[in-house]
Chain A
């Protein structure tokens, strides 16, 4: 039962409403029928009481004097005439008793002979006092009336009444009500069902279009489906169509933004790669000039060629890592002190061009287990950014050392100071809520450091900025993205 109720609750309104209307009609019909039948039964009983009272009044008046005289024939004759005069009362038999409870006369003399006593089985059916006892199952009623003269009882009238006709009328009314109400209820239920179903048809249309939205297609309801709509549904459809249009516009905007973002990322990737390739080029051209001028000197030539080889190796690594969608190379574990000193040579052309002073303190004296390429690339970016930020005559300082199980590089400048948003980005990444629109070097630095599990600290004073990066020693070969790097990439995509 409960499941049926819950099932019913889950039925569509377009079914429930018509069924509910039909059910209500049936309930109303049943209630009215019950009321009518109840009223009929009450009225019939009241009418029966009135009728039998009148009957007993008439019979009593007719027989009271014959009873006083003990006149058998007059009593019988009165009963016989009452049979005709009270045709409305279907008396099965009437008995007139004298005061000693013996039959004076009865309408059925053969069954109730004169001067005999009424059988107790028969007498038991009659009420002990004046009134009526009714048995609907047997379709009979039993009446009793005491005959009195000047208040003294002189006898009694007993009558058995056939009420089958009344019950037949009641049954007839019941079946008529059942049939007529049934037919009318079915007809009205069908009308209510189809009318409500038709009225709720727009709801089905709306539901189907809402379902399409869930499937990703926000289609406005065409005008053909809005023919002959009520005002409420027309407003509902209008609002749905407005919502569908708004959804479509938002989707288009989102797609446009995604394209733009993709293009921006591609541009950033391309410019990043160009930036990384371009970084060592200045130093390498300088080395070529040195080679051209002092190539005869074997030592100079040897060192210059080595420098060029490392520079090209750097470019090769940049291109390779880009080919694998910026995958950390991970193949080179071991940072030699010379790897950092090479950076001095690479930034010197830029230092000279900006006419700034470079202070170099490479305290790394042994090879350390960190990704050399990442350290070099990140540090080079920091040095070039420092050159760019420092005005002419300013100072740039580089320091490297081993602190515990990390390699620490500190790059400081005397520039105007890193913007707080950029500083936050460097230290917290995308969590800072700011993605640098420019400063591609910083973006690359963060990715390189985070991917190696390094930590960046920025301190900005009134003049200048100091960026400290610590790379922890790695004991295993790196594979895949580090978690932070993966998160960063996901954000960009």
Chain B
């Protein structure tokens, strides 16, 4: 029990759901097992009010990839405030330097939900469930850009051979996978195609690296580049896009598949989907320059999955 109490809310919900499912299926149980289950149920019932009270106090942990904007304290505060208000529970936003760390936390059950990149989602589709997908320019889609410094003579992706390339994150679709996919189509790897490459662990950092000519080229989320063009035109004007990918499914909000049917998961999904109907939510969407969130299906991410499979096949 103490183990149950020590686990996160979705694990506790899962345990409860499993127990209830077992009971509803009417599996013949021995007397001793029934007794044990009865005792367990009694214990659960006995502790239920206390657990509910604890759940009220325990924060919902939502992971955020360094997807688009670094150090946007105000934005994070708005997200936290909005979710707290919608869920009527304290919300703790969890951020890490790499996508991998967030994915690991999510898969290990240390997060109730996370706004992750589409690459980690397709890698772990069997373990993750879609809660909501952002709508950008009317579609739940975005593009990958490959950028160069404004002074670079490169005009196409192939012109980037021999340059120093800045990736965002090894688990980022736009910041790594798409470029890696393009190289795989050319039977190349970053090590063979580029003179040097490094990871900045942030799309904005990719822009900074290319703008300062630390790198000659970079892979970046097209949505981030577009938003930054409005917010930091001086920085963006020092870069130029030489490649735009086809539209891909926008990085989704996911939760572990095991808890996708819990009230918490549904509440989180509802909070994102209802964002346009709330004042703070609209303000948040305006800040993110998104139209809203929609419920989506795994089919939206087939393009990403294809690229991941190609790259995986090469490695």
- A interface list, Cβ under 8 A from B: 71-73, 76-77, 80, 105, 109-110, 113-115
Contact = CB atoms under 8 A, between A and B. Distances in A.
Contacts of B198: 71-73, 114
Given A73-B166, A73-B205, A77-B205, A109 B212 contact: yes
B71 to A, nearest CB: 11
A73 B201 contact: yes
Given A113-B164, A114-B164, A76 B196 contact: no
Interface in B193-241: 196, 198-201, 205, 208-209, 212-215
B196 A109 contact: no
Given A71-B198, A114-B196, A115-B196, A76 B212 contact: yes
Nearest to A109: B214
Contact of B199 (A73, A76, A115): A73
Given A109-B214, A114-B164, 15 more contacts: A73-B166, A73-B201, A73-B214, A76-B214, A77-B200, A77-B208, A80-B208, A105-B214, A109-B212, A109-B213, A110-B212, A113-B164, A114-B198, A114-B214, A115-B196
Grouping DSSP codes into helix (H, G, I), strand (E, B) and loop, the B interface class, with mixed when no group exceeds half, is: mixed
A6 B215 CA distance: 78
A147 B205 CA distance: 25
A274 to B, nearest CB: 137
21 contacts: A71-B198, A72-B214, A73-B166, A73-B198, A73-B201, A73-B214, A76-B209, A76-B212, A76-B214, A77-B200, A77-B208, A105-B214, A109-B213, A109-B214, A109-B215, A110-B212, A110-B213, A114-B196, A114-B198, A114-B214, A115-B196
Interface in B113-164: 164
Nearest to B205: A73
B27 to A, nearest CB: 53
B70 to A, nearest CB: 10
Contacts of A115: 196
A277 B200 CA distance: 151
Contacts of A110: 212-213
Nearest to B213: A110
B190 to A, nearest CB: 14
Contacts of B201: 73
Contacts of B199: 73
B200 A73 contact: yes
Contacts of A72: 196, 198, 214
Nearest to B215: A109
Nearest to A115: B196
A113 B215 CA distance: 9
A80 B164 CA distance: 19
A77 B209 CA distance: 9
A105 B212 CA distance: 11
Contacts of A109: 212-215
A73 B164 contact: no
Interface string B177-204: 0000000000000000000101111000
Contacts of A71: 198
A225 B215 CA distance: 93
B98 to A, nearest CB: 12
A77 B208 CA distance: 9
Contacts of B214: 72-73, 76, 105, 109, 114
Top 9 closest pairs, chain A to chain B, by CB: A109-B214, A72-B198, A73-B200, A110-B213, A109-B213, A76-B214, A73-B198, A109-B212, A115-B196
A75 to B, nearest CB: 10
Nearest to A71: B198
A115 B163 CA distance: 12
Q: Which of A71, A72, A80, A113 has the most CB of B within 10 A?
A: A72
B174 to A, nearest CB: 17
Contacts of A76: 209, 212, 214
B176 to A, nearest CB: 14
A80 B213 CA distance: 13
Nearest to A104: B198
Nearest to A113: B164
Interface string B4-30: 000000000000000000000000000
B202 to A, nearest CB: 9
A71 B212 CA distance: 17
B173 to A, nearest CB: 19
Nearest to A105: B214
Contacts of A77: 200, 205, 208
A319 to B, nearest CB: 137
A71 B209 CA distance: 13
Nearest to B149: A110
Contacts of B196: 72, 114-115
B136 to A, nearest CB: 27
A389 B266 CA distance: 176
A105 B208 CA distance: 14
Interface string B255-287: 000000000000000000000000000000000
A121 to B, nearest CB: 21
A77 B164 CA distance: 16
A94 B177 CA distance: 33
A372 to B, nearest CB: 141
B151 to A, nearest CB: 9
Nearest to A73: B200
Nearest to B209: A73
B166 to A, nearest CB: 7
Contacts of A113: 164
A237 B44 CA distance: 125
A76 B210 CA distance: 12
A110 B166 CA distance: 15
Nearest to B198: A72
Contacts of A73: 166, 198-201, 205, 209, 214
Nearest to B97: A74
Interface in B50-99: none
A442 B208 CA distance: 137
A113 B213 CA distance: 8
A77 B199 CA distance: 12
A271 B209 CA distance: 138
A110 B214 CA distance: 7
Nearest to B199: A73
A71 B201 CA distance: 11
Nearest to B166: A73
B293 to A, nearest CB: 31
A105 B201 CA distance: 16
Counting chain A CB atoms within 10 Å of each CB, the highest count among B166, B200, B212, B214 belongs to B214
A163 B205 CA distance: 31
Nearest to A76: B214
Interface centre among A73, A113, A115 (most CB of B within 10 A): A73
A73 B202 CA distance: 10
Interface core residue of A71, A80, A109 (most chain B CB under 10 Å): A109
A70 B217 CA distance: 19
A69 to B, nearest CB: 11
A71 B205 CA distance: 13
